[in-house]
Structures are given as structure tokens and as C-alpha cells.
Amino acid sequence: MSTRLGIGISTKLDSFSAGKEAARNALYQLARPEVDIAIVFISPIFEQQIVIKAVRSITGYAPLVGCSSTGTIASSGVFRNSVAVCTISSDSSRFSCAVGHNISKNPRLAGSQAARLSSNLKNVTKQVYIMLSDCLSGNMADILRGAQEIRGTSFPIIGGAAIDDLGFQKSYQYFNNNIYSDSVVGILMGGDIRIGIGNAHGWQPIGKPHKITKARLNVIKEIDGRRASELYEEYLDKSYDE
């Protein structure tokens, strides 16, 4: 029993060429013809639908999930304006995927919907749940709470947020041939596998503590009774317009 992964990255500027190159390299590393799932991250500079079409021309009918991203971090370096594809082939793992919609209206319900619809794993031990969600539409904490309503608070849940190229306008989530916004994609992984999860950050405090005095969902409006942007102007020594 074994699980194999292949990772391919392309920085070609043509959308179809980039998707095809990244998928082909991932499949080459996999060294198996069978793909059980493809996880894809695409920069917003590309034509999203064309990239997905190119990836699926290589990975076939295997489930495809993913989201837009600002860049790709890999063992070979950090890449902006890139397409990244991870292919997995396993005889000891199984995957079930689904999507929840309308985060902006009800993020908790969207999180619950994705987790519930992706629960279709039978006769295997459920191991970990992965979420890839639009962080520009609603509160990520509420999406997590929705998933926990289905999976439970002690079940391992990991994931990340779809984003554009720091424009904070629109992000994309992928599920098979479809591209969404305002949505969350869920991937349930199960089988005879071991899962280890760790987290850390590199932030260091650079001043005195401050108190958030006004916020709406995950958007901070005021800090210490002042416009939040004023504090950033002081710390970064730049005006709001800059």
C-alpha cells in the first residue's frame, strides 16, 4: 500500500501552456498513470477556465479542487504569476470533495454545506478535512464553525484562503470543471494513513498592544477608537494613499 505525490509548477504566460506544463510535470513525478485527485493553485493573471481545461486535459476525469493564489511556495523556490498542480495517487487513501456557496450571505451555512456534501466516504476511517475558501466574502471563523458542526470540534481541519494578486477584489475556487467565487471547497481524506499537523508564524511584536474597538465580521474598522488605517500609517510611515 502506498501513496505517491507529484508537484508541477509553470510560469509560462500563456494560460493553456502554463496549465498543461504544470499538470504534465506533476504527472511525471507521480510516475503512475492513475490520478486520484488534483489540487490546483492558479494566479489571477491567467484565464482561469483555460488553465482548468488544460490541467484536465492531462489529469483526465480525476476530481480537481483548488483556488486562486498570489504565489506558489515549493522546495524549489517561491513563484509569482504561476500555476501549481499537485497530483495524488494512492491505494490506501480516498477522497471526497464538495463545494459550499454564498459565503457573503451565510458563511457558517456555506462551511456546513461543503463539509456535509463531502462526507461521502464509506468503509474507511476519516482522517482530515481540508478547506479552501474565499476570504474576501465573509468571516473565515464562521466557515470553520460551519464545518465543525458536521465534522466535530476535535476532528483535524486544515486549509487556506483563496486570494487575488493582493487586489482584494475577487478570488476563485475550483471544483472539477467549475470555477466559483464566494464559495468554499471541501476535501475529506480518509483511509489507512497517518496525519500530522503543525502551525507556526514568524510575526514578532514591534510595539505596545492595541485594542480593536470596532469591527464588522473579519474587517477591522477602528483600533483604540481611531481609524484602523491611521495606525498603519504610523507604523509604516506612509500615508493612506501611498
DSSP states of 175-217: ETTEEESS-EEEEEEEES--------------S----EEEEET
Per-residue pLDDT for 63 more than 70?
yes
The helix/strand/coil state of 63 is: coil
What is the reported pLDDT for 221? 93
The pLDDT, as a whole number, for residue 242 is 80
Alpha carbons 101 and 4: distance in angstroms, whole number: 31
What does the block give as the cell for 135? 476570504
Residue 242 CA: distances (Å) to CA of 1, 70, 133, 229: 56, 21, 29, 12
Position 16 scores a pLDDT of 98
Once rounded to an integer, what is the mean pLDDT over residues 125-130? Answer: 94
Q: Could you report the per-residue pLDDT of 143-165, keeping only the tens digit for each? A: 999 999 999 999 999 999 898 87
What pLDDT, on the 0 to 100 scale, is given for residue 28?
94
pLDDT for residue 135: 85
Q: What is the mean pLDDT of residues 94-117?
A: 96
Q: CA 182 to CA 116: how far, in whole Å?
A: 18
The answer, yes or no, to whether residue 123 has pLDDT greater than 90, is no
* Whole-number percent of the chain with pLDDT over 90: 69
* Ranges of each domain in the chain: 3-191, 203-242
Q: What is the mean pLDDT of residues 193-197?
A: 88
Arithmetic mean of pLDDT, 55-62: 95
Digit-coded pLDDT (tens) for 166-184: 777 899 999 999 999 999 9
Question: Quick one: pLDDT at residue 32?
Answer: 83
Mode of pairing for the β-strands spanning 126-134 and 157-162 = parallel
Q: List the one residue out of 199, 187, 193 whose CA is nearest residue 132.
A: 187
Q: Of the given ranges (6-15, 42-51, 72-81, 180-189), which has the lowest mean pLDDT?
A: 72-81
Return the SS3 of 104: coil
pLDDT class for 129, splitting at 50, 70, 90?
very high
pLDDT(1) > 70: no
